[in-house]
Structure 1
Amino acid sequence: MPADLPPTLDPVAAERWAARALTASPWLHEEVARRMGERLDVIRLPVQQWADWEPVRGGLDGHALVAKRYPDAKCFWVSAQAGSALAATKKEAKPWWRRLASGAPRERVEHVLAPPDASVQLVWGNMLAHHVAAPQALLAAWHRALAVDGFVMFSCLGPDTLKQLRALYGRLGWPAPAHEFTDMHDWGDQLVAAGFAEPVMDMETLTLQFESPERLLAELRELGRNLAVGRFGALRGRDWRARLLAELDQGLRQPAPGGPLTLTFEVIYGHALKPAPRHAVAGQTHIALDDMRASLRTRQQNSRRS
């Protein structure tokens, strides 16, 4: 069973990154959101309400794709940074006259810290979980938000991410450039431990190429920060940055010294269902009224389908 906390992730650094206000979404997160959205094609469950966890970080274009798929559904926009979230939506929203001209309905969105319990049929969590210091608490929050038979879809980075950069830092004797990311099988175990059923996990490897080390570093800063517990604890100087750029330029060009700088990103995708609660058989059993109602609704729906 995986540990409650990722062993190489600094929780204080993770909290600071989560508190950082963003008004734009990283390009890679948008691309992953598009790919994850394609996986919704195989899921036919109805969605009346859904929740997007930290959509500015996960991808505003990706949010729009899901909203377009479920045009009549209400969305709970879950964000700890309400101010930056509202600024981002205003920045991305079409002017009212363009919405009227296109005939597109206005999305029903409510900005919340957490959705009401058992209120949504879909939880969408794109490229968030690998930055969280307490992943089991995040999965528990997703589970609480979902109604029975609702489902979660999420993505995150896997352990092969930045393997070229990790190797380079290792050869130079430097601390790790990032904390270690959780394996997809461990994510599956954590989903089951959180009460989800039928978890499906898969992964793909994306290879990004950069013309210069400066552009590579800019891309990495958009994606996050080094949250490793063993990272260098002080400020770096100009001489170190110059050496870093030189080492990147020399060590990451593939397949030949004149080629582009190359980095690998392992992307993990997962989805799982929230099943009806199971009641243990004992001499005396206490069942919450909400759980009993959920079980009765599920039985009635199953009987109508059969």
Structure 2
Amino acid sequence: MDPVAAARWHHAAPAPSPWLHEEVARRMEGRLQWIRQPPASWCHWDPVRGGLQAHALLRQRYPDALCHVYETTPAHQATAQEALTPPWWSAARWKGGATQFGPPPEGAVQMLWANMALHMHSQPQELLAQWHRTLGVDGYLMFSCLGPDTLRELRTLYAALGWPSPSHQYTDMHDWGDMLVHTGFAEPVMDMERITLTFASPQRLLQELRELGRNLHPQRFAALRGRGWHGQLLEQITQRLAVPSEDGQLALTFEIIYGHAFKPAPRVRVASESAVSLQDMRAMLRGSTPS
């Protein structure tokens, strides 16, 4: 994807959490029932776009855990603080379930929650490495993102008309698993599902897409489109995306990828000389057993 366009979108994205983001977060939160050990502290990464309503679900699940809210978009920091600061009379403000804003210290959390952020980042492996550093040993990552089948109907439409792709390419879940292992995570579990959204009009469909993101493809159309092209787009969407079984509603597919992985205890590479950070040494000592 175009890194300049990705950075521009990251700083200019609208503050409300899109409906699809909230729905995906709700489904991902349901998967936490399989986690036996609740985290003593966790980090909600970019909650304004990832799901402010979902934050309440996570708070209900882990009421006594310390929550680090880290909003990486400067324009959204005030929104996050206003929406997620517990009221002064709330017991969570004074007890173990407090909320802290800003980046957590390295190795400080047992769970990092990142919903629908990875597919819009131009350097995803750097972001995975940052998440890995934030987690403590045996901590786990929960994330979701869009997969390559997303907008397949719109991609087919654009290709048939000879237009450049309507969006950048999305990464396959198996490649995400490989990147997790390469970053240092262990036991990655990847899953996916397809969600079909229907719309009453092409205008409403395009509005939804504008709220979800932007086309970050490096070879996207570089100039402004005219009214004639826009009218043709609306006409083609109406003709090609209508589903008779849905009373003529317009359908779009979104492939949702869910990822889960642990941060294992660090290992020292065998060499004539080896350097180990103080943090890694402490982690290895905590995990060692007496002989």
Into which bin does the TM-score normalised by the smaller protein fall?
A: over 0.9
Q: Is the 8 A contact 1:250 1:257 kept in 2?
A: no
Q: Per-residue CA shift, 1:64-94, capped at 9, x if unaligned?
A: 2112211122222222224423225525778
TM-score, structure 1 as length reference: 0.88
* Aligned residues between the structures: 287
CA 65–190 in structure 1, closer or farther in 2 if over 3 Å, else same: same
2:12 matches 1:25:
no
Partner of 1:58 in structure 2? 50
Alignment of 1:126-165 (within 5 A): 126-165=115-154
How far residue 44 of structure 1 moved from its aligned partner, in angstroms, is 1.5
Query: Following the alignment from structure 2 to structure 1, what is the Cα–Cα distance between the partners of residues 183 and 84?
Result: 35
Partner of 2:219 in structure 1? 230
Opposite residue 34 of structure 2, the aligned amino acid is V
Q: Per-residue CA shift, 1:250-305, capped at 9, x if unaligned?
A: 110013695110000000000000000011233443332321211111235xx8xx
Q: Is the 8 A contact 1:10 1:229 kept in 2?
A: yes
CA 17–88 in structure 1, closer or farther in 2 if over 3 Å, else same: same
Query: Following the alignment from structure 1 to structure 2, what is the Cα–Cα distance between the partners of residues 91 and 51?
Result: 16
SS of aligned partner of 1:105: helix
Query: Following the alignment from structure 2 to structure 1, what is the Cα–Cα distance between the partners of residues 135 and 266?
Result: 12
Selected match of 1:109 from 80, 99, 112? 99
2:26 matches 1:34:
yes
Query: Following the alignment from structure 2 to structure 1, what is the Cα–Cα distance between the partners of residues 16 and 273?
Result: 54
Opposite residue 15 of structure 1, the aligned amino acid is A
Selected match of 1:76 from 65, 68, 73? 68
Q: Per-residue CA shift, 1:98-148, capped at 9, x if unaligned?
A: x85xx7634622222x32110110110100000000000000000000000
Q: Per-residue CA shift, 1:14-35, capped at 9, x if unaligned?
A: 0000111532100000000000
Opposite residue 109 of structure 1, the aligned amino acid is T
TM-score, structure 2 as length reference: 0.93
Alignment of 1:1-306 (within 5 A): 9-91=1-83, 96=87, 100=89, 105-106=92-93, 108-112=98-102, 114-255=103-244, 259-299=248-288
CA 118–93 in structure 1, closer or farther in 2 if over 3 Å, else same: closer
Q: Which structure 1 segments of 5+ residues have no match?
A: 1-8
Deviates more, 1:284-293 or 1:175-184: 284-293
